Amino acid sequence: MKELFRSPFLATMSYQMSDIWSILILAAPFVATLIAFVFLIEQITYLKKKSVAPGPTLVLPFLGNVVGLIRNPEKFWDDQADYAKSSPLGISVNYIIGKFMVFTRDSEMSHKIFANVRPDAFQLVGHPFGKKLFGEHNMINLYGQEHKDLRRRIAPNFTPKALATYSDIQQIVILKHLTRWVENNESNPVALRLMARDMNLETSQTVFVGPYLDKEERDEFKVDYNYFNVGVLALPIDLPGFAFRNARLAVDRLVKRLTRCVKESKEKMVEDEEPTCLVDYWMQGLVNEARELEQPLQSPSPSPPPPNCSNHEIGAHIFDFLFAAQDASTSALLWAVTLLDSHPKVLKKVREEVESIWKFDSNKLITPEQLVSMKYTQAVAREVVRCRAPATLVPHMVHQDFQLAENFTIPKGAIVFPSVYESSFQGFTEADRFDPDRFYLEERREDQIYKRNYLVFGSGTHHCVGQRYALNLLVIFIAMFTTLIDFKRHRSEGCDDLNFCPTICPKDDCLVSLSKRCANFPVLSLP
């Protein structure tokens, strides 16, 4: 009986499938023609925008060259730089995920872009899909007076007094991790990248929000920040299970935690307690501003906070600081180890200077005055970030057509990538050579002569507000690491090639052997 009912059904299905295939066969030429037409239109549009600029002639529809960018970012950006070098324009173009992109290695063009961050020209985006990833409350989305007001309120975070507070914290955290690195890895070579990243994450957490995160929250913070790191380099697919979605949700959780820290800090500063971290200095400034305006922040019906100064907005801004400080500092630390290992004369000179200024066996912290007097070590830090600018590119979105050169206009909607990495190798004497003397010897003064090419910390209204903080951290690390630890790099072919993660680090993650250089590590404590 089953066969009697099944046969007509199968026959009907067979006819239906036959009809479907017939339709598909008939439609195939039209579909192929439509795809070819879309491809042709996209190529024509790309070539029209490309104009006289060098770059690939053919690009894949929609995806463009994003696969090459993700698979091998070093080669992708090297190719862009080579295209740019082939033309007097100093720029090149490409196409990624529906976006026309412009790359510039020319310092003056980069300055022109940085100087025109405004609603009718460029918007700093930090990441091609940064607004979706970082959220709406992001400092880099602000312009004009609104941006100036926020930076004015941030200024108390980087006074000499605040930087001295951070310096003490940095030394305590660095010593803790250096001790652990040697104790756990003295007999085997170890890759420093993840260890340095963990150290910097703890440094950033402690400096930025100090006592407002407990151990469990710090561990959760670390997990979420890793999700974020992975998502930054992933395809921007905002669907469950994809790295970009995981990163976006992780940012939401991180900002929520930081928002709570802001609230607790504000309550503490209202009671006139002494600041112990960055958010305290920020909230102290807000409390003082409110008092001057006779608008207490803590009242039954407080006045609305100034623009961009709600707890949630400040929490989001602190996450911006974390992103700016965390991965860039990790990159700089790794390249400092790499470059000092390959330049023993420079290493010897650093050790001699530090040991003449800071006696680690005195169990005393390096003071701000001692830090300033380490002139050669300061020069080494600046040369490290010149040679290996951590954030190699500073992406901007173009709001309106913008004439970048006499015969080239960047079209509206494009993403432009000024390369601070390429700029750092222009002008300087023997620019490919690691040479701290260029910033140390008075007769050379290359920091002044080629100041326009030193774009590591950006330029214009959005230049890095934490520049002094970042350099202090690098100098402190170099001073402590070289004085307390003997290290030897395990070199292999290509180990110094660039790896994007998302800032640059050595391809081998800086594989080194570590051992104690002193009889005992110092015992340091906060004053």
Give the tokens for residue 265: 């800090």
Q: How far apart are CA 38 and CA 284, in angstroms?
A: 57
- Give the CB-side neighbour count of residue 175, counting CA atoms within 13 A: 19
Residue 62 has phi, psi (to 5 degrees) of: 60, -60
β-pairing, 396-398 with 415-418?
antiparallel
Q: How far apart are CA 66 and CA 244, in angstroms?
A: 15
List the beta bridge partners of residue 139.
none
β-pairing, 511-516 with 190-191?
antiparallel
Under 8 Å between Cβ of 131 and 238: no
Contacts of 382 (CB under 8 A, 6+ apart): 436, 439, 447, 471
Number of H helices, E strands in the chain: 19, 12
DSSP-derived 3-state class of residue 501: coil
DSSP-derived 3-state class of residue 16: helix
Give the tokens for residue 249: 């949700």
Query: What DSSP designation does 168 have?
Result: H
Give the tokens for residue 85: 């070098």
Contacts of 187 (CB under 8 A, 6+ apart): none
Give the tokens for residue 368: 């701000």
Give the tokens for residue 40: 């042709």
What long-range pairs does 12-16 form, CB within 8 A, spacing at least 24? none
CA distances from 258 to 35, 319, 426 (A): 48, 8, 40
Q: How far apart are CA 83 and CA 55, in angstroms?
A: 6
The dihedral built from the CA positions of residue 18, 22, 23 and 24, taken in this order, carries a sign that is positive
Under 8 Å between Cβ of 127 and 117: no
H or E stretch including 42? helix 2-50
List the beta bridge partners of residue 99.
96
CA distances from 502 to 341, 418, 452 (A): 24, 16, 25
Written as one letter, the residue type at 195 is M
Q: How far apart are CA 159 and CA 171, in angstroms?
A: 18
Any binding-site annotation on 464?
yes
> Minimal CA–CA distance to 78: which of 518, 425, 338, 485?
425
**Annotated binding site for heme, which residues?**
464
**Annotated binding site, which residues?**
464
